[in-house]
Amino acid sequence: MSGSKARTQAIERVTDHQPPATFFSLTDAPGEVFGFNVFTKAVMQKRLPKPIFKSVIATIEQSKPLDPAVADIVASAMKDWALEKGATHYAHVFYPLTGLTAEKHDSFFEPGDDGGSIAEFAGKTLTQGEPDASSFPNGGLRATFEARGYTGWDVTSPAYILENPNGNTLCIPTVFVSMTGEALDHKTPLLRSQQAMAAQAERVLKLFGHAKPGAVVSFAGAEQEYFLIDRSFVLARPDLLNSGRTLFGAKPPKGQEFDDHYFGAIPDRVLAYMLDCERELFKLGIPAKTRHNEVAPGQFEIAPMFERSNVATDHQQLLMVVLKKVAHLHGMECLFHEKPFEGINGSGKHVNFSLGNATEGNLLLPGDNPHDNAQFLVFCAAVIRSVHKFGGLLRASVASATNDHRLGANEAPPAIISIFLGDQLTDVFDQIAKGGATMSKDKGTIIIGADTLPVLPTDPGDRNRTSPFAFTGNRFEFRAPGSLQSIAGPMVTINTILAEALDHIATEIEASLDAGIGFDEAIQKILQAIITDHGAVVFNGDGYSDDWQVEAAARGLPNLRTTLDALPELVSPEALELFSHYGVFSDREMHSRYEIAMEQYALSIGVEARSTLEMATTVILPAAIRYQTELATNIASLKAIDVEADTTDLEGLSVHIKALRAGIAGLKGALAHDSATSTEEEAAHAGKELLPAMAAVRGPADELETLVADDLWPLPTYQEMLFIL
């Protein structure tokens, strides 16, 4: 296949690619390496004195306060273990509001009096670090001259070893706060929200007669979608390098319309990559469970087992790091952008969540007869109330410039937040609304019609992939988060709004009991009130239909189509009161997050706009002009020898070149805008001026790709990037 020099070389590098020898020992069974590089409970039990071990486990499993006296002993044991693993440095790992992982590395070794070195790692070093707080997004919480910030050891998330061919590092998950204690990260509010939810959930459980319920925690399992393309193509595409998505690209002759990629046979090169990823993830204690081809060509998915939401969040961030790192070793690039290729499905991060404890198990497990399972119905009703009352906050928790490209399209949930319950639960709650539930729809069976095939049991309700918040048998699945984002934001919101709903339920039941109403009647009363007041959020139909947009408006459900529409929900009076009341965010912290989100939105689009202008001016327009000149020269030559020449192609080409020039001029003008006086104005300008200006450049550029001679077109095309792997 011919092409411009850079494009041709990129294709040649792909076709010449040799798969790397695996960098893992294949003699170890996957089960044997699981948690190999993690400071697990089993490791702690072997290395810590029994009282210290019990104290640490009480903090991890029962949410007991951390005893400061354990730090020195744990630090010594952790250091010895890390040194045995080949670690030379330790790093406090934290999760700032960049959406990425941050880490500060320090050496274990210090000069000794004898001219040698000694390994030092004290308890105070384990529990606290000090990175610069003003150099990370902080929304005004820290000025440049107020730089001090602290990391604090999160004992509930295990330390681990990060391997490198030249030396290993002990990584310690931490929170990151300002000198005033205000959260500058994702982990701190997640732990706060978990604590708030647990307190209210345990109140409800005590009302059900559980005198000493175990500590309730939220669990999460995030399905990660991603694209893989050869890294040579990325190096030939400035847009992918700068913004993670293609800002130009004509639709290929074949896309995803045949539905032949979904669950198809995994290509050998990709499978080798997946196997190496999984082995590395296993060593880090990350329970990768499922792998498969996704809908779009070049798109794949990995899904882990459920874990406590704090650990799941840390593991999810680490998973993305591993996927990126191993992709490079295989000569590929792993793309997490929600929409790296226009016209085919983008990538999400479906967050499955539940809540439970050691004594009661999963509190969202309905059992065979949900209508008789009052405890389940109460916790399910809490979800219904919280999603209806705070749907705008849920939408804001997944709002970003990148996620705007997929939300609301026929590939992801609509921007309207609703709940899918399925036929069985919808019927049960309908009965409750009418006076009381007396039966549940049974599970069915499928008789396929061939005697050699088994009879298949079916669930009492189907699934609905168009719903943003769907019950899937023993958990809810929040399908709106984007593939780039941390799951901490959605989980903070889910935990906090559940805390409010469970608080409301416990308070109402207690009031009914104080008024002499029996417990069963009190449960029926609160369930009936919730489904009557908040049942409008339940929708089992097609979320992609135009009719749903109309119906949702009639139900009073907000339709926050863009990030600019959604972000103000963060600083609404209701949101500020909610987060402040449950100790998750102060008003200052919420306003800072709003400022950061607006700033990130404007910055992301600004980078894309500048990249669009640069590529259009220096790459695409010159290629089009070269071809225009070539065509004009050929036509002139034919006319010189009295041969009739067809000028149709030249005329069409010239029209699109003219449109491209006009688009470039318009984008230059939009980028020259400098009159914004606030973050909100800058974000509004990015969304309302820069995005349309970029589209006006892309339109004629993509048309030119279909007209310019292939040997002159400079950029790797969609059909090359998506299908040559």
Q: Is the pLDDT of residue 370 over 80?
A: no
What DSSP string runs through 111-171?
A: E-TTSSEEE---HHHHHEE--BSTTS--TTSS-TT--BEEEEE-TTS--EEEP-TT-EEEE
Q: Once rounded to an integer, what is the mean pLDDT over residues 141-145?
A: 76
Pairing state between β 419-420 and 469-471: parallel
Q: Once rounded to an integer, what is the mean pLDDT over residues 586-598?
A: 96
Length of the chain: 725
Q: Which residue has the tokens 């709002």?
A: 399
Report the distance separating Cα 414 and Cα 561, nearest Å.
8
Report the distance separating Cα 307 and Cα 287, nearest Å.
9
Lowest mean pLDDT: which of 73-77, 97-101, 516-520? 97-101
Q: Is the pLDDT of residue 721 over 90?
A: yes
Q: Once rounded to an integer, what is the mean pLDDT over residues 347-370?
A: 92
Banded pLDDT at 13 (limits 50, 70, 90)? confident
Residue type, 95: Y
pLDDT at 636: 86
Residue type, 342: E
- Residue 419: CB atoms within 10 A of its CB come to 26
245 in helix, strand or coil?
coil
Report the distance separating Cα 705 and Cα 132, nearest Å.
47
Q: Is the pLDDT of residue 115 over 70?
A: no
Q: Return the C-alpha torsion angle 490, 496, 499, 504, nearest 10.
A: -110
pLDDT at 408: 80
Closest CA to 319 of 285, 270, 366, 364: 285
**Which tokens go with 634?**
């050929």
For the chain, what is the radius of gyration of the CA atoms?
Answer: 28
Q: Is 348 exposed, middle or buried (0-12, 13-18, 19+ CB in 10 A)?
A: buried
Q: State the SS3 of 455-469.
A: CEEECCCCCCCCCCE
Q: Once rounded to an integer, what is the mean pLDDT over residues 281-296?
A: 93
Task: Tell me the helix, strand and coil percentages in the chain, rounded to 5.
Answer: 50, 15, 35
Closest CA to 498 of 373, 644, 388: 388
Chain-wide mean pLDDT for the chain?
91
Q: What is the pLDDT of residues 383-421, one digit of tens each?
A: 999 999 999 999 999 999 999 999 887 788 889 999 999
Report the distance separating Cα 665 and Cα 646, nearest Å.
31
- The number of C-alpha atoms within 13 Å of 674 and in the hemisphere containing its C-beta is 2
Report the distance separating Cα 401 and Cα 242, nearest Å.
15
Report the distance separating Cα 336 and Cα 318, nearest Å.
14
649 in helix, strand or coil?
helix
Report the distance separating Cα 125 and Cα 181, nearest Å.
18
Higher pLDDT, 31 or 317: 317
Q: What is the pLDDT of residues 429-472, one digit of tens each?
A: 888 887 876 677 767 666 656 766 676 666 666 678 889 999 99
Report the distance separating Cα 396 and Cα 349, nearest Å.
15
E strand or H helix at 176:
strand 168-178
Residue 306 vs residues 74, 303, 310, 488, 575: alpha-carbon distances, Å: 27, 9, 11, 15, 28
Which residues make beta-bridge pairs with 349?
Answer: 224
Pairing state between β 168-178 and 288-293: unpaired
Report the distance separating Cα 37 and Cα 533, nearest Å.
50
Report the distance separating Cα 562 and Cα 687, nearest Å.
9
**Which tokens go with 457?**
């049991």
User: For 537, which DSSP code?
Assistant: G
Report the distance separating Cα 44 and Cα 63, nearest Å.
18
CB 537 within 8 A of CB 384: yes
Report the distance separating Cα 375 and Cα 201, nearest Å.
11
Q: What is the pLDDT of residues 537-581, one digit of tens each?
A: 999 999 999 999 999 999 999 999 999 999 999 999 999 999 999
Banded pLDDT at 183 (limits 50, 70, 90)? very high
What are the phi and psi torsion angles at 3 (to 5°)?
170, 180
**Which CATH number is 194-599's, of 3.30.9.10, 3.30.750.24, 3.40.50.720, 3.30.590.10?**
3.30.590.10
Banded pLDDT at 1 (limits 50, 70, 90)? very low
Pairing state between β 307-308 and 160-162: unpaired
**Helix axis angle, 648-671 to 691-705, nearest 10°:** 160
Q: Is 261 exposed, middle or buried (0-12, 13-18, 19+ CB in 10 A)?
A: buried
Measured at the CA of 336, the angle between CA 722 and CA 7, to 5 degrees, comes to 35
Banded pLDDT at 2 (limits 50, 70, 90)? very low
Q: C-alpha 138: how far from its chain's center?
A: 21
Residues 6+ apart with CB under 8 A from 70: 52, 55, 56, 123
Strand runs labelled E in 256-342: 288-293, 299-304, 307-308, 332-335
User: For 688, which DSSP code?
Assistant: I
What are the phi and psi torsion angles at 13 (to 5°)?
-65, -35
What are the phi and psi torsion angles at 480 (to 5°)?
-85, -25
Report the distance separating Cα 141 and Cα 132, nearest Å.
13
Report the distance separating Cα 291 and Cα 530, nearest Å.
39
pLDDT at 283: 95
Q: Is the pLDDT of residue 248 over 70?
A: yes
Provide the residue ranges of all domains of the chain, joining segments of one domain with +. 34-185, 194-599
Q: What is the pLDDT of residues 618-672, one digit of tens each?
A: 999 999 999 999 999 988 888 888 777 678 889 999 999 999 999 999 999 999 9
**Which tokens go with 560?**
């926050």
**Which tokens go with 701?**
């550029």
Q: Is the pLDDT of residue 19 over 90?
A: no
Q: Return the C-alpha torsion angle 38, 43, 48, 50, nearest 10.
A: 130
Q: Is the pLDDT of residue 426 over 80?
A: yes
**Which CATH number is 34-185's, of 3.90.79.10, 3.10.20.70, 3.50.50.60, 3.30.70.20?**
3.10.20.70
Residue type, 662: A
Residues 6+ apart with CB under 8 A from 303: 221, 222, 223, 224, 288, 289, 290, 291
Residues 6+ apart with CB under 8 A from 10: 230, 232, 233, 235, 236, 716, 720
CB 416 within 8 A of CB 543: yes
Q: Is 509 exposed, middle or buried (0-12, 13-18, 19+ CB in 10 A)?
A: buried
% of the chain surpassing 70 pLDDT: 93
Report the distance separating Cα 601 and Cα 400, nearest Å.
6
Q: Is the pLDDT of residue 220 over 80?
A: yes
Residue 693 vs residues 85, 660, 702, 704: alpha-carbon distances, Å: 54, 11, 15, 18
**Helix (DSSP H) and strand (DSSP E) numbers for the chain:** 25, 20
Report the distance separating Cα 435 and Cα 427, nearest Å.
13
